[in-house]
């Protein structure tokens, strides 16, 4: 059985001061980096940042490997390790909600806790610094900021970016459900996933603990930390920068969607009704207040045809992006949920329970999530400040929405996405991603 290592850290430049965290998930056998994640969290204390790093690492592992995975958590915070191991009491009430959240995640895994010297926690420390450096420049940390020299590819990130497939009609798969609603022809969902790439090593600009005088004893007076969700903004204040608007349009109807069959890399055409649905979306998007500036599309025919219909109305070209394609359902392509349940009951049960499980000859949600997050990050960076329409499928659209919401993996099973439905995510350089519209089909009525 594969086992993992989480290395997590957080720091504050001032204590309290501008703060950030970093976390790395590695394969315990060979040390390969599987996930990197980092984020600035506004003005916080060192201990709050450290707990937030721990939570991010645990969440990333659950998205990657699912419940029951075996992991050794390593941190250079004696306070956090001893409290999580149950040997030290939590006297600072400001830390208690974070400790409870971390403990709830840890109970879903098989965890051992290990304190390590700071010099052995360099990867997580580097990521925390990169997040704070990015925040100082007025933007969120991105995977491209990472100066890691290791060259493995990432998997999930906080919020669990593995997902659920496009069940017929777009419903997320729920439990071991039967026909009529647990799965449409899946097109999975997911969220913000970060990974590593080959890059030159580079020293972080400053230390996460610059100016730090040591972890405050829990009984000493210190500023009460503000417990904020991940990101440098709560979303309640006005944005301080121009948004990158990403409209997400699901393709129109196909013969497989009529019969609620799994439709992955198979390439059916739109039906006449599907063409009409795309035309209705095009009329909507060609007017105010949309002002679409860029159209990108999955390479699959049903999405490209939908995108071309919108492009004809808006006068734009369609840019094809491979990363927006649907998940590969392998041997299940073209079958209904009921047929799959009868022919592959064990494989289906595993697929429903574990995002790392793949259909026979197909692609797991964990793999699909990494691909979708990579294209999402690329689009946000390439078209920063512009309005983009991405025409895609249930799986990648749900993944991007889940990521933006920082939702747990279970949320993917509770999303319904109709044919030709429109959703909108706005990304701000100062931190938050905001879901403004979800599953809008008003143009079809």
Find where tokens 């490209």 sit. 304
Q: Which long-range contacts (CB under 8 A, 24 or more apart) does 265-269 make?
A: 265/300, 265/325, 265/326, 265/328, 265/329, 265/333, 266/333, 266/334, 267/300, 267/301, 267/302, 268/301, 268/302, 269/301, 269/302, 269/305
290: exposed, middle or buried (Cβ count in 10 Å: 0-12, 13-18, 19+): middle
User: Would you list the DSSP string of 343-405?
Assistant: H-HHHHHHHHH-TT---TTS--HHHHHHHHHHHHHHHHHHTTTSEEEEEE-HHHHHHHHHHHH
The answer to whether residues 250 and 425 touch, using CB atoms and an 8 Å cutoff, is no
Look up 326 and say whether it is catalytic.
yes
Look up 251 and say whether it is catalytic.
yes
Question: What stretches of 41-143 show up as alpha helix (H) in DSSP?
Answer: 46-65, 78-84, 96-106, 122-136
Give the integer Cα–Cα distance in Å for 179 and 195. Answer: 36
Sign of CA dihedral 187, 188, 192, 194: negative
The answer to whether residues 309 and 284 touch, using CB atoms and an 8 Å cutoff, is no
Q: Give, as one character, the DSSP assignment of residue 49.
A: H
153: exposed, middle or buried (Cβ count in 10 Å: 0-12, 13-18, 19+): middle
Number of neighbouring beta carbons within 10 Å of residue 128 = 34
Catalytic residue from among 39, 251, 253, 426: 251
Catalytic residue from among 50, 130, 326, 347: 326
Give the integer Cα–Cα distance in Å for 226 and 45. Answer: 9
List active site positions: 251, 326
């Amino acid at each position: 059985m594969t086992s993992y290592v989480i290395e997590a850290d957080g720091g504050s430049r001032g204590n309290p001061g501008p703060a950030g965290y970093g976390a790395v998930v590695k394969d315990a056998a060979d040390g390969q980096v599987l996930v990197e994640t980092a984020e600035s969290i506004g003005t916080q204390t060192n201990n709050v940042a450290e707990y937030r790093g721990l939570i991010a690492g645990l969440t990333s592992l659950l998205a990657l490997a699912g419940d029951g995975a075996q992991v050794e958590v390593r941190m250079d915070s004696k306070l956090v390790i001893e409290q999580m191991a149950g040997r030290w009491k939590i006297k600072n009430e400001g830390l208690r909600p974070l400790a409870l959240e971390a403990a709830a995640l840890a109970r879903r895994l098989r965890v051992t806790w290990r304190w390590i010297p700071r010099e052995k926690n360099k990867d997580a420390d580097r990521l925390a610094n990169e997040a704070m450096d990015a925040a100082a420049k007025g933007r969120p940390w991105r995977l491209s900021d990472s100066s890691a020299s290791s060259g493995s590819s990432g998997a999930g990130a906080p919020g669990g970016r593995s997902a659920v497939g496009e069940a017929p009609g777009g419903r997320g798969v729920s439990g071991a459900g039967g026909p009529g609603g647990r799965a449409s022809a899946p097109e999975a969902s997911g969220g913000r996933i970060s990974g590593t790439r080959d890059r030159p090593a580079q020293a972080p600009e400053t230390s996460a603990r610059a100016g730090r005088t040591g972890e405050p004893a829990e009984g000493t007076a210190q500023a009460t930390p503000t417990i904020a969700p991940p990101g440098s903004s709560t979303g309640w204040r006005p944005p301080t920068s121009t948004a990158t608007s990403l409209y997400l349009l699901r393709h129109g109807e196909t013969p497989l969607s009529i019969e609620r069959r799994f439709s992955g890399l198979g390439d059916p055409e739109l039906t006449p009704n599907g063409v009409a649905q795309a035309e209705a979306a095009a009329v909507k998007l060609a007017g105010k207040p949309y002002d679409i500036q860029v159209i990108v599309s999955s390479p699959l025919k049903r999405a490209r045809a939908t995108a071309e219909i919108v492009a004809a109305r808006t006068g734009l070209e369609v840019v094809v992006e491979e990363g927006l394609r649907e998940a590969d359902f392998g041997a299940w392509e073209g079958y209904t949920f009921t047929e799959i349940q009868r022919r592959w009951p064990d494989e289906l049960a595993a697929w429903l329970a574990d995002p790392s499980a793949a259909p026979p000859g197909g692609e797991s949600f964990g793999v699909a999530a990494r691909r979708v997050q990579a294209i999402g990050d690329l689009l946000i960076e390439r078209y920063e400040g512009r309005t983009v329409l991405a025409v895609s499928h249930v799986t990648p659209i749900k993944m991007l929405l889940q990521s933006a919401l920082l939702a747990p993996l279970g949320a993917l099973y509770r999303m319904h996405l109709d044919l030709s439905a429109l959703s909108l995510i706005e990304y701000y350089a100062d931190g938050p991603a905001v879901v403004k519209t979800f599953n809008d089909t008003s143009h079809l009525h």
